[in-house]
Structure 1
Amino acid sequence: QAQGYVEARTGQGTWVTEKLPESFLVKAENTNSQAQEKKTQQNYNLSQRGSYLIGYSAASPYQWGAFVPGAPDVTEFPHHIFSRIQTRLSREPEINSLIYSNAGGCLELRQELAEYLKIARSVQCDADQIIITEGTHQAIDLVSRTLSDPGDEVWIEDPAYWGARNILRINGVNLRSLSVDQEGIIPDLEPKTPPKLIFVTPSHQYPLGSHLSLERRKQLIAIARQHKSWIVEDDYDSEFRFSGQPFPSLQGLEPDAPVIYMGTFSKTIYPALRIGYLVVPKKLFSPLRIVASELYRGGHLLDQKVLAEFIREGHYEAHIRRMRLLYSKRHAFLIDLITRHLGANFLHEYNTAAGLHLILKLPSNMDDVLIASNALDQGVKVRALSQYYTKHYSTRQKGLLLGFACVREQEILVAFGVLLKCLRNAGVRTLS
């Protein structure tokens, strides 16, 4: 046994042990106060929208550590390079960098993004089609407020990202949740009520991990053209594919496709940067720019200039290449742990060699919410797959989202040992 948390078995390599050092575990804070806060809010005279958001809030207070899904390793970012550029541009900043922006964001960043997206994602665009946002949430809010009315039909994947669902619902649309399989979202080819918007994550479906097949992509575009709908493509985790070539964007599949492309720097740089972007058809640029200015009074132009220079000098692509290799190793390490200690049948069939998390599949009779709660009590942060669904609980797939990107292999090993104990306590039979 080595240091109390790893044991070497002759001919079998390194295995997990349940004897874990306290220094590796971050004990969960008492969550009763959070529940009490929600209960207290019910006594206030809130709007229906406010009450809904509080009742269905799902943002975790834990944004770092094993196994937080979707969290990049911010410690590996070249902060010294970024800060050097920041210092240089901040010495004598242009006046235009310090005032409100109503032009859709920093021109230099939009130009760099246009060139990068053409090469990396096959996105067909110019700088005058790009609107800089403060991230995915703001982008979804902007699109839904500008292009849909209360009561309009909007399609979304099921399971789906809770944040997208919450934003759309408080904007009053009628959400229709469509099931997902190994080819991505299953579209309704003859909808009784045509959708105004179709939200999809085609490159790496969140949370399951499947990618949208070419046939389904063409079906969605045909539906959107027929009903004058807009497809909103959230190109989630497209930068981090560990084998084969990245799937090109849905936006670039056909000329003048009715697609709004959405991206963010939260996973490739760090979430606190709060810079994202929309690539929109030219006829939508002006209305979306005006609405964005009226709603959000854009700014952060100096930060955007710094990011533009970071991209222009080649640091962004170099960082992505390095992180892709690092995440690939952590992904393979976690896959190996699951296979050796639980068996390959616990790897969800939709998992692909991509992204910042994977799905640990559980038997349908397991309570993944309870297992996640018990793991959190032991300092390990996982999300229950069933909570991403809108359908009846009995039909939801059971599993755990395991984020592997933001922690080193040693920490993955320790946290997995804790998770194994929680699984055994829940009745899961393990191989070790």
Structure 2
Amino acid sequence: MGPDGVASLERPLNRALYACVRGAIQDGSLAPSTRMPPQRDLAAELGLSRNTVMFAYEQLLAEGYLTARTGSGTFVADTAPERFLHAGVAATPHAGTSHATTAHATIAHAHAAAPMQGLSPRGQRLIANASASPTQWGAFMPGVPDLVRFPHRRYAQIAARLWRQPHPEWLSYSHGGGLPALREAVAAHLRVARSVRCDASQVLITEGIHQAIDLVVRMLGTPGETAWVEEPGYWGIRGVLEVSDIGMVPMPVDAEGMTLPASGDARFGYWRRPAPRFIFVTPSHQYPLGAVLTLKRRRELLEFARREGSWIVEDDYDSEFRFSGQPIPSLQGLEPDAPVIYIGTFSKTLYPGLRMGYMVLPPAIAPAFQTAHAELYRAGHLMTQATVAEFMQAGDYAAHIRRMRPLYARRRAILAGLIERYLGPGALHAHTSNAGLHLVMRLPDNADDVAVAARAGARGIMVRPLSRYYMGPSAERGLLLGYACVPEEAIAPAFQTLLECLLA
């Protein structure tokens, strides 16, 4: 069952319907000015919920494929976005066939073909549960830093100077885990800022957290093994595990972080040996709820992993931005020789399009991972790595983080104040901590947060529904609101628009 009590197939159907209608518009099957069927009529004809149809229509409206005319209905736009990119011959309806009938027939045919032809079962599962947003910038997109305040000029000066006389080896493939200078810089930063036990030989530069997880699963996992994942948890981890045929066991999150099975605890009746091969955890700032894994549970988790031979994968995605109290040290650094693979990213501190992250591996497996990374991904981007290395070594990286902390703290305070003023103090999720780049706003248990997010997206407000982060049916309803990329003066107007979507 899905988070709103509808069968789990309902989730991919809203995306399948959207893709089908968009494809029909692109290839001309639905001609410009075609009147679309009313949402209620189309839902009844296809046997779908109205929310499913509403999501598809509102996404198409937001992207410009459809237009709404007050009092008249919804129509195919006169100029679809791809018209400027592709030359094609638009199909026309047969004589005597109305545009509305053509729209019904086209959508119904596409809906019938919703299973994706030619894809493997795991490929179909991956696409059906895809969660990446087509829009990655604007209020209130979670997880995106302020890209305007990035020190572009300073970064460009370093890059331009390096490009004037580049080392030939920097223009070839990478081997050995990345540019040595960047690995040294990352290790030095992590030792001081995150209490990570490491040297440069353990660091591997990746193209983001997803690639790091993919490499971990390929090198240490076998199809059919299991992984514990946080419930709720990051959808990106689930996608990688899905295509790798690693089974997932959702572990509930409470105010102390991921809960662990105890002898006789009925909540964990579904857990049976063998022990999980992997345990994926965000201990310093649980994603998405924000709890911090307590010291007691950290020690229990490490003890369990040592005893059972499991690998802990620590995702430290945004720990640099904590706005009160002392930074939360890494789990990896708590004990020597911990069975922990530490992964991090520059997406939150620099910018997501950089596509650069890092892993800290136990010494025994680091050389094998570095070789495998070169074999699987033919790594490169050494000129970019050289630029980032000098940016860090010169102190610009640490200075940028220091400048952004008070800025993000102010934006968080503004947004949290608006939420509490208009929706009450209980609207902020109880686990939310004073850190990170997003807040979680709770909604009533009977609310449809997916529909609210769709309505907001149609009006240019990007939020993510909390229920989509759950694997099981007991999903909380809420919205993830990112504040880091929203100027202070734009927060209140954007929030007012979101309130209107909540009340619609």
Tell me which residue corresponds to 2:289.
208
Report the alpha carbon displacement of residue 419 of structure 1 after superposing the two structures with TM.
Answer: 1.1
Tell me which residue corresponds to 1:355.
436
CA distance in 2 between partners of 1:106 and 1:88 (Å): 17
Does the CA contact (< 8 Å) of 1:38 and 1:55 recur in 2?
A: no
Does the CA contact (< 8 Å) of 2:212 and 2:359 recur in 1?
A: yes
Q: Is there any run of 5+ residues in structure 1 with no aligned partner, and where?
A: 1-26, 426-432
Cα deviation, 1:176-234, whole Å, max 9, x if unaligned, reads 11000011001124652201111000111111111111111111100110011110000
Cα deviation, 1:150-172, whole Å, max 9, x if unaligned, reads 01111110111111101011101
User: Percent sequence identity over matched residues?
Assistant: 52
Does the CA contact (< 8 Å) of 2:142 and 2:481 recur in 1?
A: yes
CA distance in 2 between partners of 1:289 and 1:158 (Å): 31
Normalising by structure 2, what TM-score?
Answer: 0.76
Tell me which residue corresponds to 1:321.
402
Query: 1:233-272 maps to which residues of 2 (within 5 A)?
Result: 233-272=314-353
Report the alpha carbon displacement of residue 420 of structure 1 after superposing the two structures with TM.
Answer: 1.2
2:495 counterpart of 1:416: yes
Cα deviation, 1:320-353, whole Å, max 9, x if unaligned, reads 0111111000000001111111110111101111
Report the alpha carbon displacement of residue 108 of structure 1 after superposing the two structures with TM.
Answer: 0.2
Q: Evaluate the alpha carbon distance shift between residue 378 and residue 127 of structure 1 in structure 2; reply closer, same or farther with a 3 A threshold.
A: same
Does the CA contact (< 8 Å) of 2:146 and 2:485 recur in 1?
A: yes
Query: What is the aligned counterpart of 1:279 among 346, 357, 360?
Result: 360
Query: 1:33-432 maps to which residues of 2 (within 5 A)?
Result: 42-189=115-262, 192-392=273-473, 395-425=474-504
CA distance in 2 between partners of 1:75 and 1:324 (Å): 15
More divergent stretch after superposition (398-407 vs 186-195): 186-195
CA distance in 1 between partners of 2:118 and 2:376 (Å): 24
CA distance in 2 between partners of 1:39 and 1:71 (Å): 37
Report the alpha carbon displacement of residue 39 of structure 1 after superposing the two structures with TM.
Answer: 8.1
Cα deviation, 1:39-66, whole Å, max 9, x if unaligned, reads 8774531122322221111110110111
Q: Evaluate the alpha carbon distance shift between residue 54 and residue 41 of structure 1 in structure 2; reply closer, same or farther with a 3 A threshold.
A: farther
CA distance in 1 between partners of 2:164 and 2:431 (Å): 50
CA RMSD of the aligned region, Å?
1.8
Q: Evaluate the alpha carbon distance shift between residue 244 and residue 43 of structure 1 in structure 2; reply closer, same or farther with a 3 A threshold.
A: closer
More divergent stretch after superposition (370-379 vs 129-138): 370-379
Report the alpha carbon displacement of residue 421 of structure 1 after superposing the two structures with TM.
Answer: 1.5
**Higher relative contact order (Cα pairs below 8 Å, separated by 6+ residues):** 1
Normalising by structure 1, what TM-score?
Answer: 0.89
CA distance in 2 between partners of 1:39 and 1:88 (Å): 57
Q: Evaluate the alpha carbon distance shift between residue 39 and residue 113 of structure 1 in structure 2; reply closer, same or farther with a 3 A threshold.
A: farther
1:143 match: secondary structure: helix
CA distance in 2 between partners of 1:227 and 1:132 (Å): 29
What one-letter code is carried by the residue in structure 1 that aligns with 2:177?
G
Does the CA contact (< 8 Å) of 1:189 and 1:223 recur in 2?
A: no
Does the CA contact (< 8 Å) of 2:126 and 2:242 recur in 1?
A: no
CA distance in 2 between partners of 1:43 and 1:202 (Å): 37
CA distance in 2 between partners of 1:375 and 1:271 (Å): 23
Report the alpha carbon displacement of residue 28 of structure 1 after superposing the two structures with TM.
Answer: 2.2
Q: Evaluate the alpha carbon distance shift between residue 40 and residue 138 of structure 1 in structure 2; reply closer, same or farther with a 3 A threshold.
A: farther
CA distance in 1 between partners of 2:343 and 2:359 (Å): 5
Query: How many aligned positions are there?
Result: 396
Query: What is the aligned counterpart of 2:63 among 21, 24, 29?
Result: 29
CA distance in 1 between partners of 2:422 and 2:120 (Å): 49
Report the alpha carbon displacement of residue 305 of structure 1 after superposing the two structures with TM.
Answer: 0.7
Q: Which of the two has higher C-alpha Rg?
A: 2
Q: Is there any run of 5+ residues in structure 2 with no aligned partner, and where?
A: 1-60, 67-79, 82-106, 264-271
CA distance in 2 between partners of 1:222 and 1:317 (Å): 34
